[in-house]
């Protein structure tokens, strides 16, 4: 039997299969690096723990519907824990598709683009994410959410303070010394948003009740 958690349509528990499924969605403006993020995550985990990456993109390699892969994390007292990773298409005209993918997300990684010309696109995308979440009867502040300031290696990137003030309006930040802007390639030495998101999900879940 499939049960949803008491705090809404999230974290599906299938008692018959002894399976706990968590849905993590990468959101953000077009070309900010969402697909690259989940491809990097997929690379970092052993093949035996991950399903294949499903990419539904256009000829110009823009995500058309979404990207997806499942990851097995391990067991909790006999319950197998699986994470379904999704990305949304970033272009503004895929609004309805984004809404379908975001529905029931247990956690969101917002991938912001540090390119100066993408400042408005970041804001539009964040607002779109907020309205989608609210349309589902949820409040964005209740959804575990992490931000990744991506593409810090572009020429004159948007200052981190500006990104924090305009996008991370909830104001929760890592303590000084633990901030970790994404420098350059996602698959590089800096961990992508996935690990932060796991921790945020944990904090968010504990906040419930």
By the rule CB under 8 A, 58 interacts with other proteins: yes
By the rule CB under 8 A, 75 interacts with other proteins: yes
Near other proteins in 175-194, by CB under 8 A = none
User: Which CB sits closer to other proteins, 50 or 108?
Assistant: 50
CB of 161 to other proteins, least distance (A): 26
By the rule CB under 8 A, 97 interacts with other proteins: yes
Three-class SS of the chain: CEECCCCCCCCEEECCCCEEEEEEEEECCCCCCHHHHHHHHHHHCCHHHECCCEEEECCCCCEEEEEEEEEEEEEECCEEEEEEEEECCCCHHHHHHHHHHHCCCCEEEEEEECCHHHHHHHHHHHHHHHHHHHHCCCCHHHCCEEEEEECCCCCCCCCHHHHHHHCCCCCCCCCCCCCCCCCCCCCCCCCCHHHHHHHHHHHHHHHCC
What is the C-alpha end-to-end distance of the chain, expressed in Å?
A: 23
By the rule CB under 8 A, 166 interacts with other proteins: no
User: Which CB sits closer to other proteins, 78 or 171?
Assistant: 78
Paired strand residues for 79? 76
By the rule CB under 8 A, 1 interacts with other proteins: yes
Using the rule CB under 8 A, give the single segment among 34-42, 50-58, 149-157, 175-183 that binds other proteins.
Answer: 50-58
Paired strand residues for 198? none
By the rule CB under 8 A, 94 interacts with other proteins: yes
By the rule CB under 8 A, 141 interacts with other proteins: no
Using the rule CB under 8 A, give the single segment among 10-18, 108-116, 146-154, 180-188 that binds other proteins.
Answer: 10-18
Query: Using CB under 8 A as the criterion, which residues of the chain lie in contact with other proteins when the complex forms?
Result: 1-3, 5-7, 11-13, 15, 17-19, 21, 23, 30-31, 48-51, 54, 56, 58-60, 62, 64-66, 68, 70, 72-82, 84, 86, 89, 91-97, 100-101, 103-104, 195, 198-199, 201-202, 205-206, 208-209
């Amino acid at each position: 039997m499939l049960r949803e958690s008491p705090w809404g349509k999230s974290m599906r528990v299938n008692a018959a299969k002894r399976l706990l499924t968590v849905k993590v969605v990468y959101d953000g403006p077009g070309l900010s690096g969402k697909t690259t993020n989940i491809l990097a995550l997929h690379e970092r985990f052993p093949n035996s723990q991950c399903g294949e990456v499903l990419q539904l993109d256009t000829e110009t390699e823009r995500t058309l519907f979404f990207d997806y892969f499942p990851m097995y994390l391990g067991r909790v007292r006999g319950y197998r824990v699986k994470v379904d990773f999704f990305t949304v298409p970033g272009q503004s005209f895929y609004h309805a598709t984004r809404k379908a993918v975001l529905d029931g997300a247990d956690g969101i990684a917002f991938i912001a683009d540090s390119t100066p010309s993408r400042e408005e696109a970041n804001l539009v995308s964040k607002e779109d994410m907020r309205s989608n979440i609210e349309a589902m009867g949820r409040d964005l502040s209740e959804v575990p959410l992490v931000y990744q300031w991506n593409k810090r290696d572009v020429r004159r990137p948007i200052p981190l303070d500006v990104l924090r003030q305009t996008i991370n309006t909830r104001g929760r930040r890592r303590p000084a010394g633990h901030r970790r802007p994404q420098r350059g390639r996602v698959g590089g030495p800096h961990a992508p948003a996935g690990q932060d998101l796991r921790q945020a999900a944990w904090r968010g879940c504990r906040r419930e009740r």
